[in-house]
Structures are given as structure tokens and as C-alpha cells.
Amino acid sequence: MLRTTAADPAIARLARTQQRLATSRQLRAIGLAPSTTAHRCAPNGPWQRLLPGVVLLQTGAPDAHQRLLAAVLYGTTDLTALSGATAVLTGESALALYGVPGTTTHRAAVLVSATRGLRDRSYVHLHRTSRWPPTLLVDGIPCVRPVRAASDFAAHERSPDRVRAILTATVQKTSCHPEDLRAELHASRALRNPAARTVLDDLRAGTRSIAEAQARDTLRQANLPDPLWNPTLLTPKGTFLARPDAYWPHAGVALEVDSEEYHLGITEYRTTLRRRLRLESHGVDVISAVPALIRDHPQELVAAITTKLHQAKSRPTLPEVIIRPYL
């Protein structure tokens, strides 16, 4: 039978604000004896030790959010653990909380001070830094901003494909600017990773997806003229027309990469067709492709674009559109 203590009301408040988690330091500070904590964490007790110095105030298994918050609590030295002042989530797990596609919460990367002697434990991987970042609470968990999380991920990820996929998805999902990402990659020395340098070049050129980056690779290998990536096209009166994935101003040719993931529904399909009709009604010649074609049959994409660019040489006039390159 559980013995109640004078500290239990404070523990209940802590459980509500910290997803049923607490540090041993917090429990001592509110008056719970270490022996009582040990008793409650014993086999068949109501609590469990999730990580050294971190107590889960329930009997059931932790969910993904509790695991991530526990990782931050493991690294913190602050009684106000949600402040992010001494430990904060970063890397892929933080990006997962921001909803970046392709990320997981299997491992938790936690920033701590460069002077800390704490060791990695279980799924928790500590990244030491002397450059403490601004922090945000995301789903009740202290996190770095997306641009810092992406930079810390790139600095430690060995797979070039994953670096490219997740950095590109971060820019697309969170709207962080490539120049902000460049500054963070440089500050964290992640640009030592060749994959990070390649992705940054793609992003600064204007590509905003893996398919667009692969298309850019294909076009450059075929020695085709560089297009503008994701420019804004306006009508002569200044009305928004479209933002094609790629556009060759000297030929009036646009490339649209129709994502299979986001264009399965009838509404998305109609939106795609309307955008294409608007472009064609203003004289823009549109080439459509899906990511699988770009990846598996790049020669067909090259042939189509080569033909359209050649045909454009004989057209009497170019489309009357105002072009605003991506900045």
C-alpha cells in the first residue's frame, strides 16, 4: 500500500506539468526523501526509473514524448527543467517534434554545456556545446529552433541521403531560410560533411525538395542550361500566376514536379491542373514529372526538356510574365 507524504500534492503538480516525469533533484527539493523515491521505484511499485536521476511517475511504458522529455531531464541541472537553460532537445528528434517528414524519435540528441561530464545513456546521445541556443517549448519539451536542430543533425549523420532528405524537408516544412541554415551549418562545423555542402548548394539555388534536387543533378550532368528554381511568376499587371518548380526564362519553359504524396486527392489534382492551365494560358510551356520518373528514368526527363528548349528557339514571342527569382 502506498504511503502518502506531505510532498504528494507538489508531486502531482509536477506530474501535470512534466508529462508524469520528475528528476530526483526535483523530488528532493519538494521534500520527498530519497528512500521514499527508491521504495516507489521498486519492482511492483507505482513509479519507475526511466534514466539515471529521472523518474517516471506511472507504471505503464512511456510514450514517445515522455521518452524525449526524460532525455532532456537527464541532462538538466536546473530545477526548472522546462526552461531549456542547461539541457535542450536537438537533432533529428527535435525535428520530428516540428513535423519534419522522414524523422524519427528513436534516439534523443540533447545539448548540454561543453563542461559537463555526463555520459550517453540508452537512447540518449549528448552533444556538448559552448554556443547555447535560443530554445522553444514544443509539445511541452524544450527544443532548439529547427535550423539549429537541422545543423546538429547534419554534423553527426553519416548517410548523405538522409542529410539531403532531412535538411531539404526542414527548409520546406519549417520555412527556415537557406542562409540561416548556412550560418548554423558553418557555426556547428557541419559543413565538414560533404553531404551538407551539397544540400546547401541545392537550397541556395532554390530547390525545395529531394525530387527537385535530383532533377537539378540530372540537368547539370546533361549540361542543360540552369533554370530558375521556384521563381514567382506574375502577370503583366502584377497578379500572381504560379510558382513553378523550375523555369527557363529564355525559353518560356517550366518544369512541374508533381509529388505523388501530396497529389493523390481530387482537390490536389484539380489544383495542379488549374495551375498548369494558368501557366499555359500565358504562353508558358509546361513539362510535368513525378519524383519516381526523375529518380528512375532521368534520361526521359532530359530528352523532354531538351526538346522543349530546342522548340522554344522557333517561337515568335516569349511569355509576357514578370519573374521574381527565389530569394
Q: Mean pLDDT throughout 246-253? A: 96
59-79 burial string, b = 16+ CB within 10 Å, else e? eeebeebbbbbbbbbbbbebe
The confidence score (pLDDT) of residue 277 equals 92
pLDDT at 36 over 50: yes
The confidence score (pLDDT) of residue 258 equals 82
- What 3-state class would DSSP assign to 233? strand
pLDDT at 99 over 80: yes
pLDDT band at 66 (very low <50, low <70, confident <90, very high): very high
The confidence score (pLDDT) of residue 90 equals 98
pLDDT at 207 over 90: no
pLDDT at 67 over 70: yes
The confidence score (pLDDT) of residue 265 equals 64
Q: Mean pLDDT throughout 291-314? A: 95
Q: Give CA–CA dist 279/285, Å, rounded.
A: 8
The confidence score (pLDDT) of residue 261 equals 55
- What 3-state class would DSSP assign to 256? strand
pLDDT at 1 over 60: no
Q: Mean pLDDT throughout 125-154? A: 96
pLDDT at 264 over 90: no
Q: Considering only 122-126, 172-176, 317-321, which range has the smallest mean pLDDT?
A: 172-176
The confidence score (pLDDT) of residue 263 equals 46
pLDDT band at 21 (very low <50, low <70, confident <90, very high): very high
The rounded mean pLDDT for the chain is 92
Q: For residue 5, what are the CA distances in angstroms to 10, 12, 37, 78, 93?
A: 10, 12, 11, 24, 36
The confidence score (pLDDT) of residue 172 equals 84
pLDDT band at 72 (very low <50, low <70, confident <90, very high): very high
The confidence score (pLDDT) of residue 111 equals 97
Q: Mean pLDDT throughout 276-296? A: 93
pLDDT at 212 over 50: yes
Q: Give CA–CA dist 79/26, Å, rounded.
A: 6
| Cβ-based neighbour number of residue 124 at 10 Å | 23
The confidence score (pLDDT) of residue 131 equals 93
- What 3-state class would DSSP assign to 49? strand
Q: Is the dihedral of CA 196, 201, 206, 211 positive or negative?
A: negative
Alpha helices in 233-290, H assignment, sequence order? 266-281
